[in-house]
Amino acid sequence: MRAAPIGRVVATELKPATPHQFHFWTATETSIGIGAIVRVEEGGGGKGEGERVVYGVVTDGFAYSDLATPLHDVIGAEGDPARAAAAPTVRQEIRLWTAAVLRQIPEEPLQPVPLGGVHMASDADVAQALRMDTYVHGAKPTAIPVGLYTSGGLESPVYLDADFLVGPEAAHLNISGVSGLATKTSAVEFLLGSIFQHFPAHRGKVAAVCFNVKGPDLLFLDQPGQLQDEDRRRYARLGVEPVPFAQVHFYAPFKADGVNLNTLRTHPDLADAVEPLVWGLTEVLDFAEVLLNRDDIDAKADAFIDFLSDRVVRRDFDDGFGGQHRVETFADLERLFRGIFDGLELASRGDIWRTHHIATIRKVRNRLGNVSTRCKGLVTDDGPASDLPWGQFADRTVHVIDVANVDPLGQDLVFARVVSKLREHLERRDLGVDAVVVFVDELNKYAPADGPETYVKKMLLDISERGRYLGLVLFGAEQFRSQVHRRVVGNAGTQVFGRMDADELATPGYQVLSPATKIKLATLPIGELMVRHPHFTQPIFVRFPRPPVLRGRDGVERFPPAPDLPFEEAVVRQLLRVAPAIRPNQIKDLIAGREEQDVRRAVGAVRRERPGDILALFRKRLGGRVAPEAARERTAVPPLNPIAEEPY
């Protein structure tokens, strides 16, 4: 039995029904609201052209009575609002709705919406209206649950098409909304979980790299969060298991001391899961452009850096003054520079070395030398690198890089290098997975709409425009979409909006939305989002459950960060992570009285090489202990002519 209509399409000369928009009225008490999906049926009165079905989404609503002018109400109530409210008859009023067409069946010929009955959409209607039927069902479905369409008591799962979210047809997701209320991070956490559970096997392997840029936001993705029954019910409806991420790797640089990790995830119960992120000269030199601004790097300096990169680093190199060098660390580089300056001075060969002016060399030395100072903990002077497992990315694995407490320069460096490496490996198809989702919060900082053309911005533009062919997918989040570069947001196939600021909604980017939709966006509750996706011809509102992972704030409360350890203890902890069997006292004995710099270098070597006998390698890298030379006792020399009677 067909359900009774809840409304009827009306069309007047001033408000006609068109192929893209129509108006309908409902009873005053109705469950219809902005964002509701409705179905219009032409009914049996079709004049031979067949029954047309139109799906639409409500974009605006109007209510008015038969009152011709407000003055009539004032007169009728004799100026007393209470009397107006107590009138024996309630004025006739109307609920008139405007809906944008989502889909017409048949799609050709495209005609104005028929003046038929309006019905609430069912699950099947929602799937039809949003054209999800093409990718939810079939031999090779590519549907990724994104949330529930809820209206009029209906809860219908809404799916995104993986081919249009992760590529190759379209890719990238942009999410914007005000801080705290827009649930941007939660939405991305939920969606990543959904992708990991529903990304079709025939599309290959997928992993995620998330940059944690503020507080503890993404530091507890492996810990279960608190869910309510309502959330579990929604998860069941969406067909997503409410479990935290099974495989998460956390990375954080060291603090300036070089042994304590610069992250809030330092609780003893969790700290073992955080890998140090330490880079040396070879990792950094390729990204000198990130670290040195345009004023620093002119063509001459650029050429010299290229020379170092191509001809010097990781090669046996003769400085031309008899010095042999193999530059692998900043310390090696410093020795090379010293050799050049000394050689030029002693040989009196003027100011030119290998066609590079000494002033250029001094300038590059100065700037590069500063890098290890400004990014201390991330960039090491002479220690070996500790990096992401390039080439060994596992399927459905999240890599979280915590740069929340890193200097902005360091953040840029981390971002540029990680994304560049991802791109390199994806181009060579040797990353270990076929697609990587890169989540970057505060996108307006990295790819601002205005401001200078930075390396990071150029890279983000490149990902946005060409990443989908590689499987490099950008999930960007920001507070104000209008402040992000147009090409970055414009290339995002899927756009998600949380609660928006009214000023932001007044910007030109939101002109396509109706005033009512804007109001809804400005008052959107936590957990509800507006989604635009290539298959959806109009934005759709969906609700999603709380992510099944521990929220950053809750995580910090449950696992408070441990205070920084003393140097010795921190070294012991680092080595215990590599070899839990060794005894702490053995390590403490070995490092007693050693220079911290030597100890850091030895720990780095152990971490990188991971030998069978940890202690042996650690001892070897520390080098032989040089016994301090005791000061010789000086014998007193008696005065040649003592003056015994000296009165003073």
C-alpha to C-alpha distance for 378 and 255, rounded to whole angstroms: 8
Q: What angle do CA 484, 486, 490 make, to 5 degrees?
A: 110
75 is a contact residue toward other proteins (CB under 8 A) = yes
Contacts of 71 (CB under 8 A, 6+ apart): none
Among 67, 110, 359, 506, binds other proteins (CB under 8 A): 67
C-alpha to C-alpha distance for 429 and 97, rounded to whole angstroms: 52
66 is a contact residue toward other proteins (CB under 8 A) = yes
Q: In this structure, is the dihedral angle defined by the CA atoms of residues 213, 219, 221 and 222, taken in order, positive or negative?
A: positive
69 is a contact residue toward other proteins (CB under 8 A) = yes
C-alpha to C-alpha distance for 315 and 325, rounded to whole angstroms: 8
3-class DSSP state of 373: helix
588 is a contact residue toward other proteins (CB under 8 A) = no
Q: Given the rule CB under 8 A, which of 85-93, 176-184, 283-291, 532-540 is the region that contacts other proteins?
A: 85-93
Among 14, 68, 592, 640, binds other proteins (CB under 8 A): 68
Which residue's CB is nearer to other proteins, number 67 or number 110? Answer: 67
CA atoms within 13 Å, Cβ hemisphere of 23: 14
Which residue's CB is nearer to other proteins, number 72 or number 466? Answer: 72
Q: Given the rule CB under 8 A, which of 79-87, 255-263, 416-424, 562-570 is the region that contacts other proteins?
A: 79-87
Which residue's CB is nearer to other proteins, number 27 or number 243? Answer: 27
Q: In this structure, is the dihedral angle defined by the CA atoms of residues 353, 356, 361 and 364, taken in order, positive or negative?
A: negative
Q: What is the DSSP string of 14-76?
A: SS---SSEEEEEE-SS-S--TT-EEEEE--TT--SS---EEEEEEEEEEEEES-S-HHHHHHH
CB atoms within 10 A of CB 47: 7
72 is a contact residue toward other proteins (CB under 8 A) = yes
Which residue's CB is nearer to other proteins, number 83 or number 338? Answer: 83
91 is a contact residue toward other proteins (CB under 8 A) = yes
359 is a contact residue toward other proteins (CB under 8 A) = no
CB of 541 to other proteins, least distance (A): 31
Buried b / exposed e along 447-484 (16+ C-beta atoms within 10 A): bbeeeeebbbbebbbebbeebbebbbbbbbbbbbbbbb
Tokens for 187, please give them.
């939405």
12 is a contact residue toward other proteins (CB under 8 A) = no
Among 20, 21, 60, 77, binds other proteins (CB under 8 A): 77
27 is a contact residue toward other proteins (CB under 8 A) = no
Among 51, 73, 462, 465, binds other proteins (CB under 8 A): 73
Question: CA dist 410 to 279, 323, 377, Å?
Answer: 11, 33, 10
3-class DSSP state of 601: helix
Contacts of 512 (CB under 8 A, 6+ apart): none
Q: Given the rule CB under 8 A, which of 75-83, 361-369, 443-451, 544-552 is the region that contacts other proteins?
A: 75-83
CB of 89 to other proteins, least distance (A): 5
Among 15, 51, 76, 597, binds other proteins (CB under 8 A): 76
Q: Given the rule CB under 8 A, which of 7-15, 83-91, 483-491, 501-509 is the region that contacts other proteins?
A: 83-91
Of 103, 42, 92, 102, which is closest to residue 63 (Cα–Cα)?
92
63 is a contact residue toward other proteins (CB under 8 A) = no
Q: Binding-site residue total for other proteins (CB under 8 A)?
A: 17
Q: Given the rule CB under 8 A, which of 82-90, 134-142, 178-186, 571-579 is the region that contacts other proteins?
A: 82-90
> Which residues inside 319-338 make contact with other proteins, applying CB under 8 A?
none
90 is a contact residue toward other proteins (CB under 8 A) = yes
Which residue's CB is nearer to other proteins, number 87 or number 502? Answer: 87
C-alpha to C-alpha distance for 228 and 235, rounded to whole angstroms: 11
89 is a contact residue toward other proteins (CB under 8 A) = yes
Q: Given the rule CB under 8 A, which of 64-72, 199-207, 332-340, 367-375 is the region that contacts other proteins?
A: 64-72
CB of 91 to other proteins, least distance (A): 5
C-alpha to C-alpha distance for 541 and 517, rounded to whole angstroms: 10
Residues that bind other proteins (CB under 8 A): 66-69, 72-73, 75-77, 83-84, 87-92
